[in-house]
Amino acid sequence: MINSIKNQFKQQLELLQNKKYKKPAFEAYNMKRAFVTLDQAFEYVGDNSKYQQRITLLLCIQFLFYSFFVMGMPYLLQNPSKYCTDEICIEYPNCNNRIDSLIGFDSIAKEFGLFCNGRKAFIAALFFVGQMFGGFTFPILANIFGRRKILLFGMSIGSVSIFVGALCNNLLYLYALFFIAGFGLSGYETVVYVYINEISALRFRSIASSLLIVIWSSSMLIYPFIVDILQSWRLLMMWSIGVPLLVTVILDYFYFVESPRWLISKQQYDECRKVFRFMSIFNKRRPFEFNFIEELDKFNNRCVKLATVKRVETQINLNQHTNQSAGYWELLKRSKLLIQTSILVQMWFLRYFTYYGLQFSVSTFGISMTTTLRMLALVELMTGMSSLYFKLKYPRIISLQFCLLTMILSATLAYIDIPLECQSSLCWQQILHLLSAILIKASITIYNSMLNTYTGEAYVTTVRSYGYGVCMTFGQLGSTFAPLYVSYVQEIYQQASAITIVGLMAILALGLTWFLQETYKKDMYDNLTDEVMANQTLPLINHDMQFEEIELQQLSR
């Protein structure tokens, strides 16, 4: 009688407790006796739920201020509007003669005299060189110390460098700080792309990466207003970039958790369970207490001997050995990864070269730089929002091929020569060049979003950060060459021929996409041997053997 009353009380208490929880994607009678995959764990805690939305919000805020620095660099480095000698002012500098005074925005180029001999392009190139080294170095650190720590470390380096740079009066120190800022921010960006692929399931990955593109593009609609208010490169770097980024680092420290996929790859199952438990409680699901399928090995040691169980133990031990030896060399010694990486690095180079080639060519389209930047930012914003539709509805490879074909056709418009008389007024040739830039901007935005998602899905967890690192390194090589190339072409040919070369690069990338494998709606693997195991005809565990039977066999020993 007493036991019956206790059971009824316990049932009523559970019903009262359940009212505060949302219904999960699936339920188990006893979570401690059930084994789930990582994808099932993400479904249980809630994909794109409250916690994932909080993470997305923080990343969007960081990307907004980060993009102020990168996309606002034409403002920070813009040339003076007039150059005066003996009270005679002209619009273009005569670098061979004395210049008494300068008129225009208080930029780095104006304060340090970087408007001659390509010196302005050099400081921008230093930033991108730093990004190239950061994109290669930080994946190694992220695979050793974890995604969260290195993400925070990269943003801390970048934000402090920008803040100190705003106070710097020495040009050489400013060069060094731009390099360090590029190193830290690129490392942050690389790890962020890995992080959003590993913190949740398919829907969150698609939404988060698309939102980051939208926020990035919206910066150029907001930043000109900030420039009009502050009117100084020092104030811009300190109060619109450096200080806000430092504040977001503090918020990230309290809200970000470690990547569950990275924890599983390092066999830190208890820590991974704590992360999922925190996410489930934050998303108002019943606390996560499941076991992971990767933990079967330790249960097998206490179970009766069965051939299927012994098979699981052998494969998991093989995974652990692979995880311990993974590194950049895995991308070289495995033919499939080598071919995949060789293709992707060319596609990432195209992405960055095209994007920043357009950014540094805005002064050549016949209208004001601010108007051109806002127009291109609006195009990027609209196409960035539409990229989510492409991600959810169409395969990755087809979407990439569509974008590349659009870039090829658009680049042909830029081959039309602009006559000299068009420099004083807008003519139809300049309109065609502007139309070409708009179409390329739209296609490269969708291409960018799809390529980010595809790269994360194409690599397994143990080498995902290395894959992103190699791709980001070659991508930043493109962004390093872009300002130098555009500056050289403008000085020699007086036009932005960086647009025309995009068509040739896109033709090569289009041909290479036929050798890539589709990842749309396919499982993400966590170990280098998972794909082989998934294609085996024999199951890891006999379908007739239940997990509860294994537990009962343990208890009877």
Q: What is the mean pLDDT of residues 418-440?
A: 72
Mean pLDDT, range 96-122, rounded to an integer: 71
Q: Predicted confidence band at 419 (pLDDT cuts at 50, 70, 90)?
A: low
What phi, psi does 95 have (nearest 5°)?
-70, -15
Tell me the pLDDT band of 1, cut-offs 50, 70 and 90.
very low
Q: What is the pLDDT of residue 529?
A: 58
238-258 pLDDT, tens digit per residue, is 999 999 999 999 999 988 999
pLDDT at residue 237 is higher than 90: yes
What pLDDT score was predicted for residue 304?
41
In this prediction, residue 96 carries a pLDDT of 60
A 10 A CB-CB count for 47 gives: 18
Give me the mean pLDDT over the 399-411 stretch. Answer: 91
* pLDDT on residue 305: 41
Q: What is the mean pLDDT of residues 203-229?
A: 83
- pLDDT band at residue 170, thresholds of 50, 70 and 90? very high
Whether residue 159 has pLDDT greater than 50: yes
Which helix (H) or strand (E) segment holds residue 417: the answer is none
Please state the rounded mean pLDDT for residues 119-148.
Answer: 87
* Digit-coded pLDDT (tens) for 280-327: 888 888 889 898 888 876 666 554 443 344 344 444 444 444 444 567
Pick left, alpha or beta for residue 60 (phi over 0 → left; psi -120 to 50 → alpha; otherwise beta). alpha
Report the run of H or E that residue 80 belongs to, with start and end. none
Provide mean pLDDT across the span 535-545.
40
β-bridge partners, 35: 291
What is the average pLDDT value for the chain, to the nearest integer? 78
Structure confidence at residue 538 (pLDDT): 35
Are the beta carbons of 404 and 508 closer than 8 angstroms? no
Give pLDDT, residue 363.
65
- Amino acid identity of residue 253, one-letter, is Y
DSSP states along 217-279: HHHHHHHHHHHHHH-SHHHHHIIIIIHHHHHHHHHHHHH----HHHHHHTT-HHHHHHHHHHH
Of residues 75, 129, 128, 85, the one with CA closest to residue 106: 75
Q: Name the pLDDT band for 234 (thresholds 50, 70, 90).
A: very high
Measured CA to CA, the distance from residue 458 to residue 518 in angstroms comes to 8
Average pLDDT over residues 401-427: 77
Q: Is 158 exposed, middle or buried (0-12, 13-18, 19+ CB in 10 A)?
A: buried
Closest-CA residue to 382 (of 441, 432, 433):
441
Which pLDDT value is given to residue 119? 72
Confidence band of 506 (pLDDT split at 50, 70, 90): very high
Q: For residues 96 and 77, what is the distance between their CA atoms, to the nearest angstrom?
A: 21
Report the pLDDT value the prediction gives residue 385, as an integer from 0 to 100.
85
The answer for 522, left when phi > 0, alpha when psi is -120 to 50, beta otherwise, is beta
- The number of C-alpha atoms within 13 Å of 46 and in the hemisphere containing its C-beta is 22
Question: What are the residue ranges of helices labelled H in 394-525?
Answer: 396-411, 428-458, 461-493, 498-512
Q: What is the 3-state secondary structure (H, E, C) of 189-222?
A: HHHHHHHHHHCCCHHHHHHHHHHHHHHHHHHHHH
The first and second tokens of residue 545, run together, are 């053997």
Check if the beta carbon of residue 516 is closer than 8 Å to that of residue 348: no
Nearest to 520 by CA among 453, 447, 424, 465: 453
What was the pLDDT predicted at 65?
A: 94
In sequence order, the β-bridge partners of residue 88 are 85
Nearest to 142 by CA among 132, 133, 153, 131: 153
Q: What is the pLDDT of residue 129?
A: 86
pTM: 0.75
The predicted structure's pLDDT at residue 534: 46
Contact 217, 385 (CB under 8 A): no
pLDDT tens, 528-539?
655 544 444 333
Digit-coded pLDDT (tens) for 333-387: 888 889 999 999 999 999 988 888 887 777 666 566 677 777 888 888 888 888 8
CA gap 152, 187 in Å, rounded: 10
Closest CA to 477 of 516, 505, 504: 505
CA 485: distance to chain centroid? 25
Q: What does the pLDDT read at residue 493?
A: 58
- Decide: 114 and 120 in contact? Cβ < 8 Å: yes
Residue 553 has a pLDDT of 39
Confidence band of 526 (pLDDT split at 50, 70, 90): low
Q: Map residue 82 onto helix, strand or coil.
A: strand
Q: 382 and 389 in contact (C-beta within 8 Å)?
A: no
